[in-house]
Structure 1
């Protein structure tokens, strides 16, 4: 039993690590940060559309939003910080 556990632990860590970094390649814009609109504008826009924002983060090229969408579904969404268009992974 112990030998199975020892073999499965590295596999479990690999799966967890790969899913945690799965969105690392999302590219939203090539525009310099000086052209980015404030994240508070995006938050206001989404709130007016019915989103319930839990947390927002800034990646190297996106605004990453953790929220419930207008349908009540929990989502992790990426937005272009210049246009505020949603970017699919």
Structure 2
């Protein structure tokens, strides 16, 4: 067991394992009085060809489940104040 823990620590220190970043570290730390409405984000994304499945709030960000302009399933976090993407994760 100790060998496994040592191996995981060694790999993570060399950047072989993905790091876990909080929403605040990704840029979602705007006060709620500065947030734009989810409808504004949906309108913006739909104008870019996205098909929105769901928008929810997660750790201070808007989390969008959608098909992007290429028809690829994505899960993306957006800053609720600027409506800019702070990460994009392909679902396929």
Is this a same-fold pair by TM over 0.5?
Answer: yes
Q: Does 1:26 align with 2:23?
A: yes
Paired residues, number: 68
CA RMSD in angstroms comes to 2.0
State the match for 2:69 in structure 1.
70
- Structure 2: gaps of 5 or more residues: 1-18
- What is the CA–CA distance in structure 2 between the aligned matches of 1:23 and 1:56, rounded to whole Å? 22
* 1:39 alignment counterpart: 38
Give 1:60 shift: 2.7
Structure 1: gaps spanning 5 or more residues: 1-21
Q: Structure 1 pair 23/33, CA: closer, same or farther in 2 (3 Å)? A: farther
Against the structure 1 CA distance between its residues 70 and 23, is the aligned structure 2 distance closer, same or farther, given a 3 Å change threshold? farther
TM-score, normalising length: structure 2? 0.66
Structure with a larger share of its residues in helix: 1
Distance 1:61 1:24 in 2: 13
2:23–2:29 Cα contact (<8 Å) kept: no
Runs of 4+ in 1 over 2 A off after TM superposition: 22-29
- The TM-score with structure 1 as length reference comes to 0.68
Higher strand share: 2
